[in-house]
């Protein structure tokens, strides 16, 4: 019997994998260690009446045991924070997926949670959109800067990204640019003309203002701006070219 093909990856699949790993492996391991230490301290007190086993020794063991338990609880707190951020990111990707379903109805192919591997490492692209108007990568963010009110607008001038008066780290801009460049390198041999993979950075439910527009450069949008930007671009590729690109992406997507 032939092996069944791997299914196409779904939105937020990598995040759900990380969430499952934290819940099923890391947190359970820490809780088990806490339980074992607590039981060890409990049973050590039950044998306190054994001759030669003095209170000083028992006190040292208790302090060391509770100290280690505090360290484990701190790790649990960090894992809980990671879990909350991962779940928030997953929700953002699923919400954007709903918006992309409308784009798919207009004849575009959409790929979710796309993994690229090369000698420089692994990239995880939240969404890739392919159609007659081009190829687009989409990185989604469902967060706000620390201490920044949620209603502050996001301003992008082509070089800096600001939330209110707070300037974001440039790493957030480099990520979608790097992903688009890697994908462009893979897809360029499929077409004769120059291929541009346009990177997009989407902030869920935020007001985004662009002060400088570059049609093939990084686009910073909210969920409502994804479809309007992609559908407003003129057609560049034939259906045959789109078919080749989609077939290659589907092959790579299943391989991961």
- Across the range 179-198, mean pLDDT stands at 90
The residues pairing with 203 across neighbouring beta strands, listed in sequence order, are 141, 222
Q: Which of 29-33, 105-109, 248-252 has the lowest mean pLDDT?
A: 29-33
Residue 8 lies in a domain: no
Residue 138 lies in a domain: yes
Task: Write out pLDDT tens, residues 130-143.
Answer: 999 999 999 888 66
Q: How far apart are CA 204 and CA 154, in angstroms?
A: 11
Residue 150 lies in a domain: yes
Q: Which of 26-40, 77-91, 175-189 has the highest mean pLDDT?
A: 175-189
| The pLDDT of residue 200 | 92
Average pLDDT, rounded, for the chain: 77
Residue 168 lies in a domain: yes
Q: Give me the number of domains the chain comprises.
A: 1
Residue 50 lies in a domain: no
Residue 99 lies in a domain: no
| Higher pLDDT, residue 166 or 232 | 232
- Across the range 208-222, mean pLDDT stands at 80
- 8 Å CB contact between 234 and 216: no
H, E, C per residue of the chain: CCCCCCCCCCCCHHHHHHHHHHHHHHHHHHHHHHHHHHHHHHHHHHCCCCCCCCHHHHHHHHHHHHHHHHHHHHHHHHHHHHHHHHHHHHHHHHHHHHHHHHHHCCCCEEEEEEEEEECCEEEEEEEEEEECCEEEEEEEECCCCCCCCCCCCEEECCCCEEECCEECCCHHHHHHHHHHHHHHHHHHHHCCCCCCEEEEEEECCCCEEECCCCCCCCEEEEHHHHHHHHHHCCCCCCHHHHHHHHHHHHHHHHHC
Task: Write out pLDDT tens, residues 20-67.
Answer: 666 666 766 777 777 777 766 666 666 655 555 566 666 666 777 777
Residue 43 lies in a domain: no
Residue 34 lies in a domain: no
Q: Which among 174, 171, 166 is positioned nearest to 145, based on CA atoms?
A: 166
Per-residue pLDDT band for 128 (boundaries 50, 70, 90) equals: very high
| The pLDDT of residue 136 | 95
| Higher pLDDT, residue 46 or 219 | 219
| Higher pLDDT, residue 46 or 204 | 204
Question: Which two three-digit tokens encode residue 42?
Answer: 């409990």
Burial (CB count within 10 angstroms: exposed 0-12, middle 13-18, buried 19+), residue 211: exposed
| Higher pLDDT, residue 169 or 235 | 235
Q: Which of 19-23, 222-226, 245-249 has the lowest mean pLDDT?
A: 19-23
Domain extent, residue 112, equals 108-255
């Amino acid at each position: 019997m032939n092996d069944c093909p791997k299914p196409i990856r779904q939105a937020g699949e990598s995040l759900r994998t990380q969430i499952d790993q934290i819940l099923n492996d890391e947190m359970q391991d820490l809780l088990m260690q806490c339980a074992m230490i607590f039981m060890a301290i409990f049973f050590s007190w039950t044998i306190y009446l054994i001759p030669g086993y003095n209170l000083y020794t028992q006190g040292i063991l208790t302090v060391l045991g509770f100290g280690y338990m505090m360290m484990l609880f701190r790790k649990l707190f960090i894992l809980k924070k990671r879990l909350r951020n991962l779940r928030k990111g997953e929700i953002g990707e699923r919400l954007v997926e709903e918006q992309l379903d409308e784009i798919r109805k207009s004849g575009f192919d959409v790929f979710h949670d796309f993994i690229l591997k090369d000698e420089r490492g692994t990239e995880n692209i939240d969404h890739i959109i392919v159609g007659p108007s081009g190829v687009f990568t989409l990185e989604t963010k469902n967060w706000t800067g620390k201490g920044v009110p949620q209603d502050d607008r996001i301003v992008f001038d082509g070089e800096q990204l600001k939330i209110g008066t707070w300037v974001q780290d440039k790493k957030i801009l480099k990520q979608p640019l790097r992903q688009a460049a890697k994908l462009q390198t893979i897809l360029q041999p499929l077409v004769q003309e120059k291929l541009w993979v346009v990177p997009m950075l989407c902030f869920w439910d935020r007001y985004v203002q662009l002060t400088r527009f570059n049609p093939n450069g990084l686009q910073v949008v909210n969920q409502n701006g994804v479809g309007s930007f992609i559908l407003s671009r003129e057609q560049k590729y034939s259906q045959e070219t789109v078919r080749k690109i989609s077939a290659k992406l589907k092959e790579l997507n299943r391989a991961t």
